[in-house]
Amino acid sequence: MEFVVLPDCPAGARLAADLRPAHRIDHASGRPWIVGDWSPDEVTVVEAGPRRLVLLGHTRLDEAATTAALGRMRSLHDVDTVASRLPGLFHLTASMDGRTRVQGSVAGVRQIFTAEVGGVTVAASGMAPLIRLTGADLDETVLAARLLAPGGAPWPLSLRPVTRGVDPLGTGHWLELDADGRSRQIRWWELPEASRTLEQGAEAVRSALSEALAARVRPGRTISADLSGGLDSTSLCFLADAAGADLVTYHVMPLDGANEDSLWAQKAAALLPGARHHTLSSHRAENLLDVGYTAEYARTAPEGPSTWASGLAHVKDLAARATAEGASLHLTGFGGDELFGRMPACAWSLARAHPVSGLKLVNRYRLANRWSWGATVRALTDRSTFAQNLTAVAARISAPPPPIDEPDFGWVFAPRMPAWATPDAVAAVRELLTTAAAETPGPLDADRARHQALASIVFEGKTVRQVNTVVAGTGIVWDAPFLDDRVLEAALSTQVDQRLASGRFKPLLTTAVRGVVPADILGRRDKGEFSAEAFRGIERNRARLLELCEDSHLARLGLIDPAAFRSAVLNPGPMSHHLQPIETTVACESWLRTHPHPLDKGERR
């Protein structure tokens, strides 16, 4: 699915002809409103006189009640009453009295981008149509920030594409287009207060997840799913089965014999006899760290290089296998760790929310991670604001990685630039971060742990969105029910000490799915680890990786020292975190080679 939303004005109407869409939905004025390419079952149109509401994606709604509600609305702000209730993942856009509202999902699986074209603001579900309309060029500084590891640039820079002149809609915001094509962003969504007990939160999560799966399961649709053996993906498989899905699962055997994922996946498969299960060999070439974007992925990543680009071969192979089984939707457990696991700042939040019981749990974390009392107390008593913390992170991007036994309870994960990044690249990224700290009004939530969870969820949403640009046209869509607005609201509105009940692994999730997921499966208390695949990938693909050091496009831009990068590929180091900057550099280098900027003149319309 790809579409553009046009303002209700003559200038917006003139742009429709340049887009040559397969489908079109009009404003009440008769001017083109939504133009693009989609399947009929992906779109719901609701009309009440001249007012119109369109949902694009997976959801369930009472059309009669929604039509009545639309008729009563006095302004676009009243659309909140619909947007705040619907399950699933979707884009929403409304047209009323010459004004337009458009928004995606909170996590950004469904995102909105904007650009100024012909004197008006145009919105789109993806980057590609806006790049075609504007001929936008590469922003080398944002590209340099993609070298940061682990995880790339922190929020809010994580939202920014590497193309000048195309901007993302802010997290939790909707975009208003007025009758003259001017725009403004309006925040409509914030996390509810964290007031629920474990049982209350579990009931809300169970209800939200049940509705999320019901919005996706329908007669005649085959759904594929990851069955890694972890609690997150396994729970989704059982929920999909309970919703009546024709289910196909895939498990990739880990290389490390100490990883128990296969044991748990086998247990789950035996308890899902109605599904078709496939196990992929641990020696399958697509499992391993690869060289990122090759010629077959040319122009499939218009937002820029992704940190997961080394897994492109796995995504493509899995998509082919699933579509051969008839699947049109593939479920992943993305978001489960953020909603139900422990974020780095949880200790800071626990100590403030529950000074007595919370500190007992903090001490458990301290002992497990071998933190000293002095370092733990210093981290707990930190009172820096989000902007101050982001500024401090910017100052440290060229420093060596911190010791693994040093706690960090700050707002922002602290990535580093690779050792082979040039001083100019480091300086540019540092300025980008400090500017963002000065311009960003505040964090995603007043609580550090919830901010971190939301920032990571936005990263996961971006990952799912970008995977779907790669598999576009294959007949299958990647999906992540944990990233639905209603699901993340239910989970993160549960009190932090209840979400992290002492002595239990992901207690909120296990309580929520009890009775749907067998008790034996809920007994798992750990996660698999996959650094062996990364090391094997470096070894197997070293010659191809070294080719990227020759005539490096990143070096041409003045961003890396190719000789230093070559040395790292030849001798990456013994720890898994040594591989992370190699992966981000490979992603950026291979992306540059397959996504030239500016676009060829023949591709502009």
Q: Which H or E run includes 131?
A: helix 128-134
Tell me how crowded residue 423 is: count the other CB atoms within 10 A of its CB: 11
- Quick one: tokens of 112? 């909105």
The two tokens of residue 113 are: 């981008």
Which run of H or E residues covers position 485?
helix 485-492
- What phi and psi values does residue 431 have, to the nearest 5 degrees? -65, -40
* Percent of all residues in the chain with a pLDDT value above 70, rounded to a whole number: 98
Q: In what order do the strands lie in the sheet with 99-103?
A: 43-48, 51-58, 89-96, 99-103, 173-177, 183-187
Q: What is the mean pLDDT of residues 266-270?
A: 97
Q: Give backbone dihedrals phi and psi of 34, rounded to 5 degrees, phi first.
A: -120, 120
Residue 279 phi/psi, 5-degree rounding, is -115, 125
Residue 309, classified by CB atoms within 10 Å of its CB into exposed (0-12), middle (13-18) or buried (19+), is: buried
- For residue 335, CA distances in Å to 32, 228, 342, 482 come to 36, 14, 12, 5
Q: How far is CA 248 from CA 92, 209, 335, in A?
A: 30, 19, 21
The tens digit of pLDDT for each residue in 146-178 reads: 999 998 999 999 999 999 999 999 999 999 999
DSSP category for residue 575: S
Mean of pLDDT over the chain:
92
pLDDT of residue 33: 97
pLDDT over 70 at 209, yes or no:
yes
pLDDT of 599:
38
- Which residue type sits at 212? A
Q: How confident is the model at residue 600 (pLDDT cuts 50, 70, 90)?
A: very low
C-alpha 256/C-alpha 446 separation (Å) is 40
**CA–CA separation, 72 and 96 (whole Å):** 12
Those residues whose C-beta lies under 8 Å from the C-beta of residue 66, and which sit 6 or more positions away, are 46, 53, 82
47 in the Ramachandran plot: left (φ > 0), alpha (ψ -120 to 50) or beta? beta
Reported confidence tier of residue 598, pLDDT bands at 50, 70, 90: low
Residue count of the chain, please give it: 605
Which of 524, 527, 481 lies closest to 205, judged by CA?
A: 481
pLDDT digits (tens, 9 = 90+) for 549-580: 999 999 999 999 999 999 999 998 777 778 89
Contacting residues for 217 by C-beta, under 8 A, at least 6 apart? 223, 240, 243, 244, 245
Report the chain's terminal Cα–Cα distance, integer Å.
Answer: 20
- Which residues have a Cβ under 8 Å from the Cβ of 74 and sit 6 or more positions away? none
Class of residue 534 by CB neighbours under 10 A (exposed 0-12, middle 13-18, buried 19+): buried
Q: Are 604 and 135 in contact (CB under 8 A)?
A: yes
pLDDT given at position 359: 82
- Where does 2-187 sit in CATH, by number? 3.60.20.10
pLDDT at 515 over 90: yes
Mean pLDDT computed over 437-454: 94
At residue 560, the 3 state secondary structure works out as strand
pLDDT of residue 160: 94
Q: How far apart are CA 14 and CA 99, in angstroms?
A: 17
For residue 604, pLDDT over 60 is answered with no
pLDDT at 2 > cutoff 70 = yes
Percent of the chain with pLDDT over 90: 75
Q: What is the pLDDT of residues 315-347, one digit of tens each?
A: 999 999 999 999 999 999 999 999 999 898 999
Q: How confident is the model at residue 307 (pLDDT cuts 50, 70, 90)?
A: confident
263-277 residues labelled b (16+ CB within 10 A) or e (exposed): ebbebbbebbeebbb
CA–CA separation, 78 and 546 (whole Å): 56
Q: Is 187 in contact with 444 (CB distance < 8 Å)?
A: no
Neighbours of 299 (CB within 10 A): 14
* Beta bridge partners of residue 45, listed in sequence order: 54
In the predicted structure, residue 602 carries a pLDDT above the cut 50: no
Confidence of residue 356 (pLDDT cuts 50, 70, 90): confident
- Over residues 380-406, the mean pLDDT reads 92
How far CA 323 is from CA of 223, 227, 326, 329, in Å, comes to 10, 17, 5, 9
Quote the pLDDT of residue 299.
86
Q: Give the mean pLDDT of 19-38.
A: 93
Look at residues 565, 591, 588 and name the one whose alpha carbon lies nearest to residue 578. 565
User: Hey, what are 219's tokens?
Assistant: 């007669």
Distance from C-alpha of 398 to C-alpha of 545, rounded to nearest angstrom = 24
In eight-state DSSP terms, residue 117 is E
How far is it, in rounded angstroms, from Cα 54 to Cα 31? 15
pLDDT (mean) for 216-238: 95
Residue 1 pLDDT grade (very low, low, confident, very high; cuts 50, 70, 90) = confident
What single string gives the DSSP state of each residue in 36-73? Answer: EE--GGGEEEEEETTEEEEEEEE----HHHHHHHHHH-
C-alpha–C-alpha distance, residues 270 and 44, integer Å: 38
Name, in order, each residue with C-beta under 8 angstroms of 199's C-beta and a sequence gap of 6 or more.
511
For the chain, give every domain's residue range.
2-187
Q: Count of alpha carbons within 13 Å of 314, Cβ hemisphere only?
A: 21
pLDDT band at 484 (very low <50, low <70, confident <90, very high): very high
CA distance 194 to 485: 15
| Cα–Cα distances in angstroms (integers) from residue 588 to residues 20, 304, 308, in the given order | 32, 8, 11
